[in-house]
Every structure is written in structure tokens, then in C-alpha cells.
Amino acid sequence: MTTYDVRHAVTYRHEAHPMALWSNPELETILGGPLEQDAITEDDLRNLVTAVPAESEFVDYKSGIGLIEPDQNPRWTSAQEHARDVCAAANSRGAILVYGIEDHKKTAVIDERMVPIPDNPDKDRHAIADHLRREIREHATPVPLVDVIYVDAAAGGFYLVVVIAPSPLAPHAVMAVKDGRKPLYYFLRQPGETNIRPLTEYEVAERYAARALGAEQRRQHLEQLWEDGVDELESSERLWIAVAAAPDLPAADSRLTPQARNEIEQWADERRFPDSLLGLRGAALNRPFPAPGRVVYTHLVDTGDGLAPGVADSYLEVHADGSMFAALALESVSDKTNAISIDSLIDDIRSLTTCALDWMSERTGSWGNASIVAGIAAAGIPYEATVTLNETGGTHAFGLRRVPTRRLPKATTVVDLASITAAQDLLAVAYNAALPLVQAFGVTEPNWITHDGGIHFGHLVSRNGRALRAWARDNGVPQH
């Protein structure tokens, strides 16, 4: 990994959704590429209509008129119909809705079925798509994840392709209006068929149980990620700042295939780890070692029996499913009292959370939530040892506490990946991750990162002057 100064620190520059929300190999073969913006053309849609002429489980053709001239039926509006189509796909195995292609029952001539939505300066394609998203937000609960793709038509106008992935939050319901009430209706795209049908009471209950089970499995996965990572640090006999992070929507293949390994190593080669804003750490000299489902970045050490992977000052696990465990060793420790610098604590938390979110965006896209466990880990240190902060950086403290290593703090924070678009957002994530850690020592809040993702230079103990201020200015980070 290349060494460079704070002015080149990772700032999370990415497109709004760099990866496809959903992967369907059959549709991708027909369309000639992934289900994402700029990968689908009008000719691709024509190929789709040729290969799948009628509505199927995974494809639904829609006239664009309903997006321009919505129905005003007070009992079941076109807005609720749009929400129904989306919820039914999210409750099933996913689907795409293609607006601008007429139903096969009107005509069998493909060119006559291709009726793109006309461009309108009073309500352009972005306004139409935003209106569709608003309808889904207002009439679907919980709101499914959707991607809206614009496909230009050669003769003018455009098509809208709405991509809906199978959802871990199913069942999704449509809120209707009836006698002043808002009853919920649940729908499903019948597997292997073309029709949408209501879910039975038993099926609704079954899906709620599956949702709870899925949430518990994700929680257990995150906890296991933390425990396994900390176990790898045991031989070091040191204190560590560590982060375990996992997306709610992991990559479909969690195996370390040759392609996944190449993607991990290419991503790592283009980034600095750790990414210290305060210049307190240099770049790690770790090497990549393949392991089940992941690539481990650590040192090559002499074990007495030859060279082998071994933990030194940093440790990084990059998982093929988009998860990560990363840790940075703190100052030397003793069997009694150990001190941690508050500046380095916050700097390390920011570095580790930024690294994890950057990998998730690269591997799985900016979809859904990510859960992050951040904490202090004592690897191979006696339980009777204690840890304290050695300063507060000018922030209020209720008497610095000594924390036994058996009760070192760690806490979980949940991040909406779609909301992370700038360096300021990443600093706000670091603030939320670090807040419970510093409070465990009696400090009110992190000293130099603010809750809104700004930098409070007056509370820094370490100084990194011009370079840090220039970085904040260049990345639109508020300075206090």
C-alpha cells in the first residue's frame, strides 16, 4: 500500500450507487451487462422483449402513461399500484419493471410495443423518477430498496427501468385508504409465474419470522466477525483499537474466488492503510495472505520455524462478502495501568470506519445499512490490567476512569450507506462510533470530531496544522 500524506487521505468519493442493486444472471445475459445505470441501452431492452415477450416472474412491462397521467381513484390509486408492484417483487425473488414498453396483449410487433416516455421540460425524467420514488415511500412500509435507471430512446424520450431486489426486510405492505383508516395489504410475485397475488395470513407471519431470524443472523455474523478478529490478535499481548463491519446486503458470493481476490487486492493497492488524518501513523507494511472467504493483511514474521504471517502493529481482514475486521495496535502496555491518547483513539476510529465503509461501497454498492462494532480490545493482556485516557483535549470529563481490560468498551452503530457521500459524513460516523468509547472513560464526547462531521481544531492535543486544515477545506469539512 502506497504511503502519502494527509492531503491524499481517503475521502469516500463515489457515484451515488456504484454497484447494481440486484444481480440476476438470466436477465444480465439477455441485456448484456449488469442492471445499473449506463449499462442498459434501447437495443438491450429490445432484446429483452424478444427473449421475454410476456410478463414473467422477473420482468414486468408497463406503459409510461401511468407515470405521466396518474389515476385519481380515491380507493386504489396508481400510486398504490406502483407501490404494490414494488412490494410484490421485494417480497419475492426480485424483478425489474420496465416503463415505456406496452403489454404483449396490445400487439405482438416489438417496435410497436416500444413506446418511450416523452421528454417534457415541465416534468423531466428526473422529476418523474423522483415522483415514483415518493409514491413508493408514501405507500409502502417498510420502504423497499429500488434503483431507477434511465435508458435513452433513439427517436427521443426514455424508458425507466425500476430494479427491485429481494428484501431482507420483507414482508413489505401497501398502505391503502379505506373509511379513514390505512389498512395494510401484502402482495407476492408468484415464483415461476407471472401473476401477483395477496399473501395469506400464514405467509405474512412466516415472513415476519424470517425477517427477525435474518436480523439475528446478521447480528451473530457481526459478533463472530469481531470475536474471530480479536482472537487473531491474541499473540500480540497488546491493546488494540478495532472495528468489525458488515453490510445488511452482502455480496452474493462470499467465497474467495480468484476474481474476488483480485478485486480485494486491487482495492487495497489503491488505498492507504491506516489512513491517519493527524499523521500519527505511517502506512502499514502488511502483505496479503488468502484465507477462507477473505484476504488477510498482516506481517511476515520469523516464528523460529521459518517465516509465517504474524500480527505486528496493524491487522486487516477484507472479506469477499463486503465485511471487514481491522485493528491498530496502541502504545506499549504493561501489566498494570495503560494510557491511551484521545487524539489517536479518535483518529484510529475514523481511519478504521472509513476503510470499512469504503470497501463495502466498492464490493456491495451503497445500498441498505451497515452495522459497525468499534471498540478497544486487550489481546493477551492480564485481566487485572487497567486502561485510561491520558487527556481530554479540552472536552468536559466527569473524572477520568480506569477501565479494567475485562470490561473494555465496544459499541455498535448502524449506518445508512446511501447517506455516506462525503468526508463530512464519514467523520460523523466516526463520532457516533467513538462516542460510547470515550464516555466509558468519563469523557462527554470525542474531542476533535463534532457530531455533524466537523473538525474542532481547538480541542486537538496533537497538531497537524496546515495539512489538516487544507484537507478539511478541500473536502468541504466544517472547521470550528
Residue 292, preceding bond cis, omega within 30 degrees?
Answer: no
pLDDT, one tens digit for every residue, the chain (480 residues): 333 344 345 554 444 455 789 989 999 999 999 999 999 999 999 999 999 999 999 999 999 887 876 665 656 788 899 999 999 999 999 999 999 999 888 888 999 999 999 988 888 899 999 999 999 999 999 999 999 999 999 999 999 999 999 999 999 999 987 667 779 999 999 888 778 999 999 999 999 999 999 999 999 999 999 999 999 998 888 889 999 999 999 988 899 999 999 999 999 999 999 999 998 899 998 999 999 999 999 998 877 787 888 888 999 999 999 999 999 998 766 667 788 899 999 999 999 999 999 999 999 988 999 999 999 998 878 777 889 988 888 888 888 898 988 889 999 999 999 899 999 999 999 999 999 999 999 999 999 999 999 999 989 887 767 888 999 999 999 998
Contact residues for 35 (Cβ-Cβ < 8 A; gap 6+): 20, 21, 22, 23, 24, 27, 28, 96, 147, 149, 161, 163
Cell of 162: 425500476
Query: pTM for the complete prediction?
Result: 0.88
CA pair distance 101, 11, nearest whole angstrom: 41
Return d(Cα 327, Cα 330) in angstroms, integer.
10
Distances (CA, A) of 158 to 42, 103, 126, 164: 9, 17, 11, 19
Pairing of strands 403-404, 173-175: unpaired
Residue 44 CA to residue 31 CA, distance in Å, equals: 5
Q: Which amino acid is at 346?
A: I
Give the separation between CA 134 and CA 141, rounded to whole angstroms.
12
426 within 8 A of 357, measured Cβ to Cβ: yes
d(CA 185, CA 87): 10
What is the rounded CA–CA span in Å between residue 340 and residue 400?
12
Give the closest residue to 248 by CA, choosing from 170, 189, 140, 173.
170
The three state secondary structure string of the chain is CCCCCHHHCCCCCCCCCCCCCCCCHHHHHHHCCCCCCCCCCHHHHHHHHHHCCCCCCCEEEECCHHHHCCCCCCCCCHHHHHHHHHHHHHCCCCEEEEECECCCCCCCCHHHHECCECCCCCCCHHHHHHHHHHHHHHHEECCCCEEEEEEECCCCCEEEEEEECCCCCCCCEEECCECCECCEEEEEECCCCCCEEECCHHHHHHHHHHHHHHHHHHHHHHHHHHHHHHHHCHHHCEEEEEEEEEECCCCCCCCCCHHHHHHHHHHHHCCCCCCCCCCCCCCCCCEEEEECCEEEEEEEEECCCCEEEECCCEEEEEECCCCEEEEEECCCCCCCEEEECHHHHHHHHHHHHHHHHHHHHHHHCCCCEEEEEEEEEEECCCCCCEEEECCCCCCCECCCCCEEHHHCCEEEEEEEHHHCCCHHHHHHHHHHHHHHHHHCCCECCCCCECCCCCECHHHCCCCCHHHHHHHHHHCCCCEC
List, in order of start, the domains of the chain with CATH numbers. Answer: 25-199 (3.30.950.30), 212-474 (no CATH)
Q: CB–CB of 327/304 below 8 Å?
A: no
Distance of CA 266 to the CA centre of its chain: 19
Nearest Cα neighbor of 280 from 440, 468, 435 is: 468
Cell numbers at 98, concatenated: 420496465
Confidence (pLDDT) at 5: 44
d(CA 151, CA 117): 10
**pLDDT, position 333:** 63
